[in-house]
Amino acid sequence: MGLRAKRTDVVAVDADNRFGTCGPAQRFAEEAIASLRPEIAERARNVELPTDLKRSAADALEQKPHLSWDTALAQLLSGVPDDAS
């Protein structure tokens, strides 16, 4: 008989009403950055996105299907070289 993990995560809803699970470490991280949210939002509003971002993301995922979409996007936006992963 296999072992079963005890489920201690809770379901959370973020500011955009998206559902997700939130364990103790994630709750701690959320609380720690709560005071930084306004600055993060302001910086995000001021970022100029590349006009070809959608195509670049699709190309990156085609070349590296092992990447999650958010990792591929983060790499594109941060300028991480293509051979970094």
Q: What is the pLDDT of residues 10-47, one digit of tens each?
A: 445 455 555 555 678 888 888 889 999 999 999 989 98
Q: How is the chain split into domains, by residue range?
A: 10-45, 53-84
- The predicted model scores a pTM of 0.48
Sequence-separated (6 or more) residues with CB below 8 Å from residue 69: 57, 61
Q: Where are the alpha helices (DSSP H) in 1-85?
A: 24-33, 37-45, 53-63, 69-78
| Per-residue model confidence as pLDDT tens digits over 44-54 | 899 888 899 99
